[in-house]
Amino acid sequence: AQKITQTQPGMFVQEKEAVTLDCTYDTSDQSYGLFWYKQPSSGEMIFLIYQGSYDEQNATEGRYSLNFQKARKSANLVISASQLGDSAMYFCAMILPNSNSGYALNFGKGTSLLVTP
């Protein structure tokens, strides 16, 4: 069974500093995709970044980058130059395709990030 593990329940970072949020995954599939979503207090999940298992380079989207280490089965999110608005819950997720041409996202438990002035 596929599993996502986020071991940091809460993290603090000072404004303008970089922070790394950890994510490890377990799967026997060779083809898979990994996501990071941000959930502010308003509730909606905001897509941040995607990494495919066959992508040769680590994904980057603005201040977000994904440190993908396939052999270690880790997909850590790096946020550079943290801003107060980055304070939120962050979820790592893996896509689970099914035999019906559909898919589901399997989420970890999340990490709460607080950015301080």
Partner 1 sequence: DAGVTQSPTHLIKTRGQQVTLRCSPISGHKSVSWYQQVLGQGPQFIFQYYEKEERGRGNFPDRFSARQFPNYSSELNVNALLLGDSALYLCASSLGAVRQGDTFGSGTRLTVV
45 binds partner 1 (CB under 8 A): yes
> Three-state SS for 69?
strand
* Dihedral (Cα; 36, 32, 29, 37), 10-degree rounding: 10
Can you tell me which of 1, 28, 101, 117 binds partner 1, judged by CB under 8 A?
101
CB of 17 to partner 1, least distance (A): 26
Q: Which stretch binds partner 1 (CB under 8 A): 10-18, 22-30, 43-51, 75-83?
A: 43-51
39-48 per-residue burial string, b: 16 or more CB within 10 A, e: under 16: beeeeeeeeb
Tell me which H or E stretch contains 54.
none
CB of 49 to partner 1, least distance (A): 8
Q: Which residues bind partner 1 (CB under 8 A)?
A: 4, 33, 35, 37, 42-47, 50, 52, 91, 93, 95-96, 98, 100-110
